[in-house]
Amino acid sequence: MPRQYFRGLLLDPQPAAYPTITATTETVLVPTLFTPIPALSVSPGSTYKLTVGGTCTTGTAGTLTITPRFGTVIGGVALGTSPAQNYVPSITTAPFLFEYWLTFRSIGQAGTNSTCVGGGKWISGGAVATAASQTTVQCASSGSVSVDTTIASALWIGVTFSVAPSVIPLWALWESV
């Protein structure tokens, strides 16, 4: 008999914007309180999707690096860091959309005996009336990543701007797919 999957939101969206990001060090895009992965809750094939939207204001030219991690803090297991991508400078409140998919391939005993892969993309608006002016940054695992699914964890999406931005995540959806 085939498996029956049900897609659904794991948490209701927060009724207010998330904290504004203005740092030039790795900062979580959405607090991990809103991207939980409970202990012993996944099976092979389990897939999660994070979608975040908001606004981005940039100053002078710089780069954006995205580092997804399996864990609740910046020291979590890296899932495939993006290259440092140039962003469009001097943009005011441009809309951005970030999507990330996390799929578990195998589940094992306690310790880093489970594996997962993931990939995502950041797209933000560019200069008005300027062709091909958006910023696109992609990140993905280059192979299976070993993680521990027997302890409570989360998806950490770290963003690092080389020049202080003003990024306001206005909404986020955390789904089981």
Answer whether 102's CB lies under 8 Å from 116's CB.
Answer: yes
Per-residue confidence at 12, pLDDT binned at 50, 70, 90? confident
> Whole-prediction pTM value?
0.94
- Number of separate domains in the chain: 1
Closest to 90 (Cα-Cα) out of 128, 119, 116, 117:
128
> 170 — phi, psi (to 5°)?
-90, -30
Q: Is there a domain that residue 13 lies in? A: no
> In this structure, which amino acid lies at residue 20?
T
pLDDT one-digit tens code per residue, 156-165: 999 999 999 9
Q: Is there a domain that residue 14 lies in? A: no
Q: Is there a domain that residue 4 lies in? A: no
Name the one residue in this structure whose structure tokens are 């005993």: 109
Closest to 66 (Cα-Cα) out of 52, 54, 51, 84:
84
pLDDT one-digit tens code per residue, 80-92: 999 999 999 999 9
Q: Is there a domain that residue 2 lies in? A: no
Residues 6+ away with beta carbon under 8 Å from 16: none
